Structure 1
Amino acid sequence: MYLLKSIIYFPLTEMVIFGIIYICLLAYILRSSKRYIIVIPGIGMLLSFIALSLVQGSVTYYRCTGQVFAFFVAFVGMLLCYIVEKSNRRHLKRVVQLILVWLCIVQSVNLNYWLTLNHLRSEEEEKVIYDIGSELRQNHDMSKPIVFCGFYGLSSEIIELASIPKKDVRWKVYSYVYSKLHEEDYSSVYNGSRRKLPQTNINSVISWALGDQKDMQALLAKQGFSIKITEDSQIWDEVFEKLYYGRVSAYPDKEYIEEEKEYIAVYIAN
């Protein structure tokens, strides 16, 4: 999965390239100096990528192993600089220095892009929470317990910015390789929903919070809205059934809040 995704996702591209460099450096060091202690930290980092997957018995998200990416890349970069510095090849030193400077610039641009996009995602969801809180405060009895139900999908603009463009050559290559490896139709992969690059970043906090009423309560509290919630499973099942069978309106449509005698239901499904 990591090798395949490295075709389109820069952090993994960088990781795979530095992994190849490390293997080359490993062979060189073991052949020339026999100083095993230098390469042991890198081996440990590489093993950490798959250790959690082996324990769990399944492929883990990048967030579970991605913390090691930066340390591994930095370690390999340091090792490369150390070996090149000891050599007498002045031109090689300059080339390596230029590549590392260029890489730092690309990393900075990439990191700032995702931070900015995540900020836009946060602002979008803050507005949704504020809209819901304002509607509850103005038109409903806030003394009643509230139950939230549904799913919030980020705007298509945000999702598209977090995805690789369909016309990008890398996406065409990825779709072709993926379709061959998994024996799927190329067009279904190419036109599918796998273009979003990060797995756990640029995801909806509201959708995550809808899994626990207390989290929705906390999000509204941050916007200055104090509410009571109910965790009565019978009420939640009743509310979910109405949403599932399309018997009610849901945010952002009008009348997405339904007030009953004992509780208030807020339906979110965009």
Structure 2
Amino acid sequence: MDTAASNTGGGSAFASDSSTNLATVIKGLKKFDGKDPAEFKTWMKKFCVVLGVTRKDILPLLKKQRKPDPADTAAFDSYTRANEDLYAILYLLVELPAALSIQKHEDDTGISGDGQAAFEELCNNYDRVTDEVIRAKMEELENNPMNPGENPDDYFNQKYLLRTQLDKMGEAISDRRFKDICVRGFSDEYKDVKLMVFRDPTFNVLDMQSTMRNIFLDEQSRKGWKGRIAGRGFATATTASDIICHSCYESGHIRRNCPKI
């Protein structure tokens, strides 16, 4: 304990933490360059967790601890050392272009800086960028309808990809909302599937994708077989209970076989 105190020059409660080798602190931590803002929140969470375990003297700075009064020599010196170490850690882990947020807080010596200010600016910059990316991804998810003749698997896979990307950025999309977004984008050739979704709340996204895939494949096959009956797509893609009559809107039969006509 005496050795730790002499190394840190004071009686800080976290004196032993400040002697931790910086290479040990950053070992295993991924570097961040800012080229993919979607990675920032995941990177920052791991960064804070690791520092919270290995450098408890730095953790208060990440939580916006105010700089102590210089009159409190022990607390001020402890803060200063932790602040300089935080700058060094950020300098080692953050690469260009994100490193510009760090380098702005370099001090006059050119070998150290204000780690707390650098950390705060990095968070502010990339939280803002992440919010902008989230808005762009949400717009892409909600406003990209299915093109006529498009393979349904391509349509759904793109929706799944965007949902996953948003989830990684902390923007979770509920199953119900995702289902509604998918249905709104259906092209006219799948209006029967859309009707089924409205009539049967249990008809989920996987059911929709499977049914639409069968319709699509049957249509592709029909185009290659001139003798096949036009319009079989929906009938062969669903079971009898899935078929909807366009006259009475009950399941199990089609309009020309409707008993109510």
TM over 0.5: no
**Which of the pair has the greater relative contact order for Cα pairs under 8 Å at 6+ separation?**
1
Q: Which has the larger radius of gyration?
A: 2
Higher relative strand content: 1
